[in-house]
Amino acid sequence: MRKLFAATLAALSLSSAAQATVITGDVTATGAYGGNAILSNLSDGITPADRTTYNTRGLTVWWNSASTYFTLDFGGLVAFDEALLSVDHNDNYLVSYSTDGVNFTDLFSVLSTQGTVNWGMEAFERSFDSVTARYLRVQGTSGDSAYAVGELHVLGTRVSTDVPEPAVVGLLGVGLAGIVALRRRRRA
């Protein structure tokens, strides 16, 4: 009986485990950026090829000030432990995260001394301890002041804040009561 119960619990937990997927977000900007850049390209799931020119319309978003930043809104909480950031190779960038869109915590940096491309865009994949956030922010911090991002997305799962339906809870209760009754019957 214990084996059956353990097997049932294991099957339920495996069937409800969410698979990590690429999650993009809606993008807003604070500050000025390239006049003909398409802001939604920053998180559309499409990563420009390495060595793509930093100001390629339709593939990148570029700007010239360290005070400009871009915020991705996932539309709800997301748990993730990997990110991809495609940036102009010769600058430094900071990615931070937030649950409320106001208080941000540094997540990782990409430095101009990292990578293998000597000009143009380069994609960097980063792994880190899992975080839960609704917002990601990217900004250039230093370099030649011609910053560009081609893609920023995470690999994770959406966090459900749904409350179980009463019927589901009721079915679980009936099932557990049945197991208890069956066990008592066998003992008698």
Rounded to 5 degrees, φ, ψ at 92 are: -110, 140
Which has more pLDDT, 69 or 183?
69
Predicted confidence at residue 165, as pLDDT, reads 62
pLDDT digits 0-9 by tens, 160-179:
866 566 666 666 676 767 77
Distance CA 98, CA 71 (A): 10
Distance CA 145, CA 178 (A): 68
pLDDT digits 0-9 by tens, 110-159:
999 999 988 899 999 999 999 999 999 999 999 998 999 999 999 999 99
List Cα–Cα distances, 152 to 1, 12, 27, 101, 177, in angstroms.
49, 34, 10, 17, 49
Predicted confidence at residue 105, as pLDDT, reads 98
Predicted confidence at residue 30, as pLDDT, reads 94
In the beta sheet, which residues pair with residue 134?
none
Predicted confidence at residue 164, as pLDDT, reads 60
